[in-house]
Amino acid sequence: MLRAFAALLQSMTRESVDTVVRYGGEEFLVILPETRLDGAALLAERVRAAFAVLRVDAGGTPLSTTASFGVTGIDFAGGQALAPHALIAVADELMYEAKRGGRDRVMARPFARQYAHDDTAPAA
């Protein structure tokens, strides 16, 4: 199932621009350097919908599952520094909000600029 999800992510992102990384057991990071937050949330919704209908053969038994997404972003045009783990922490918290809210959904929020220099991001 993880391989199928990774392949889906790769097929729906731009080669040589976007980056798909497995981050932990069942989590993935998708880095979209030339995409605004609204576009990233739209991509996450398209991936979510495509994954929801995907069936993976497991020894003759078709398996399916859902995915929850946390999406955040920041505009680097101002040249502000950012601790990458702070951005990841916000996306991770949004993903858990999506799971608590019923799973199989996308939660998106811009990264708060006041935390751009902190070592940690606040919980939502």
Architecture of domain 2-115: 2-Layer Sandwich (3.30)
What's the mean per-residue pLDDT of the chain? 89
Please state the pTM of the whole predicted model. 0.85
Q: Are 95 and 103 in contact (CB under 8 A)?
A: no
Q: Are 37 and 44 in contact (CB under 8 A)?
A: no
Question: 122 pLDDT exceeds 50?
Answer: no
When pLDDT is averaged across residues 92-108 and rounded to a whole number, the result is 96
Q: Identify the pLDDT of residue 71.
A: 97
Give exposure, 110-123, as e/b (b: 16+ Cβ within 10 Å).
ebeeebbeeeebee
**Cβ-Cβ contacts under 8 Å for 32 (sequence gap 6 or more):** 13, 17, 18, 39, 40, 43, 73
Pairwise CA distance, residues 28 & 91, whole Å: 11
Catalytic (active site) residue 93: no
pLDDT bin (cut points 50, 70, 90) of residue 113 is low
Out of 26, 27, 34, 97, pick the active-site residue.
26
When pLDDT is averaged across residues 45-66 and rounded to a whole number, the result is 95
Q: Identify the pLDDT of residue 76.
A: 75
Domain ranges of the chain: 2-115
